[in-house]
Amino acid sequence: MPNSNKTFLRALAGETLPVPPIWLMRQAGRYLPEYRATRGEAGSFLDLCYNPDLACEVTLQPLRRYDFDAAILFSDILVIPQALGQHLAFKQGEGPQLEAIRDASGLGKLSVDGIHDTLGPIYETVSKLSDAIPDHTALIGFAGGPWTVATYMVEGKGSKDFANIRRFAYGDPKGFDQLIDILVEATTQYLLKQVEAGAECIQLFETWGGVLSENGFNRWVIEPTKKIVENLRNVHPDLPIIGFPRGAGLHLIDFKTKTGVTAVGLDSGVPLKWVAENLQKLGPVQGNLDPMYVITGGDEMIAETRRILETLKNGPFIFNLGHGITPETSPENVDKLVKFIRNQS
């Protein structure tokens, strides 16, 4: 049985609670002045990710303000390609920059051997967090889904049309499978170490799965996720795993039933009546307030939050956003949101 003090784990175990647990994707971030101060102390974003003391500190900051029901490790999905041997840098105003791998000939520079030498500080952060978070707070470890991580590895940065990765995947599917296989292995090892260090739940962020065709989604989102889930459960049979396949639409049913994830994260575009009638019957769901409502705040934020709570109240549910909280969000609006949810019964 899950820890009865941790409503987040109870919801993941299938319990329908009168007040849903709440946490927010990117709840530690630039919208908080204390985060910006700690980021300045660290020097760079990657320095912050690899500094266990400071990464632990920024993870704890939103808990002190809002007492969220879960904490999520502060890190980045792109530490995996860096650990595999791909050059990574974050440029101010431009985001991540990687040495692009445009075809199978570039895979030789990647190696799973030794990834823990790079990722060791992150496991130390997880361990510190396991000791530091309140007793009623659950600890989430995470990684990017293989397809999403591969988009950055192939494009070399963020993309609007994902032309290079789709050209690689559709033009040389067997070669692209090799990259996905490398990422499945590295991600499995990474997540197992996080659980060993104290993570109680795992979330897989498949942020860009929605750009794929139906066959592509099955091959490069569902199948890799299924392999990772199986690998993790071979070691930790009861480990709760949340899959967040943003933009998946009607693929969500297949994603849930075929991958074996415990719960499905919902982006803001998913119709909630359909979720309640179809997806929530299969297991817990998490989501899905549009982050823009938390920027604008006011009566519309409360009205939309009330609609979400009402629509999903009859099944296991974790309140979250449909994507990450954004830097321009007012901390006061987050406080108003959390208090409104906590006052429901």
The residue annotated as part of the active site, out of 31, 35, 39, 50, is 39
Q: Comparing C-alpha atoms, which of 55, 44, 48, 227 is closest to residue 141?
A: 55
Query: Which phi and psi (to 5°) does residue 118 adopt?
Result: -75, -40
Q: Are 335 and 38 in contact (CB under 8 A)?
A: no
Q: What are the E-state strand segments in 194-294?
A: 201-206, 241-245, 263-265, 285-289
**Would you call the peptide bond into 288 cis, given omega within 30 degrees of 0 as the criterion?**
yes
Q: Where are the alpha helices (DSSP H) in 19-114?
A: 33-42, 45-49, 52-66, 79-84
> Is residue 30 among the annotated active site residues?
yes
> Is residue 166 among the annotated active site residues?
no
Q: Are 172 and 104 in contact (CB under 8 A)?
A: yes
Q: Comparing C-alpha atoms, which of 97, 54, 98, 56 is closest to residue 73?
A: 56
Q: How many degrees, rounded to 5, is the angle at CA 179 between CA 252 and CA 121?
A: 90
The residue annotated as part of the active site, out of 31, 50, 69, 76, is 76
Task: Residue 277: count other Cβ atoms within 10 Å of its Cβ.
Answer: 11
The residue annotated as part of the active site, out of 152, 190, 219, 293, is 152
> Is residue 39 among the annotated active site residues?
yes
Residues 6+ apart with CB under 8 A from 311: 272, 273, 275, 276
Q: Are 97 and 90 in contact (CB under 8 A)?
A: yes
The residue annotated as part of the active site, out of 26, 166, 219, 246, is 26
The packing angle between helices 33-42 and 52-66, to 10°, is 180
Q: Which residues are catalytic?
A: 26, 30, 39, 76, 152
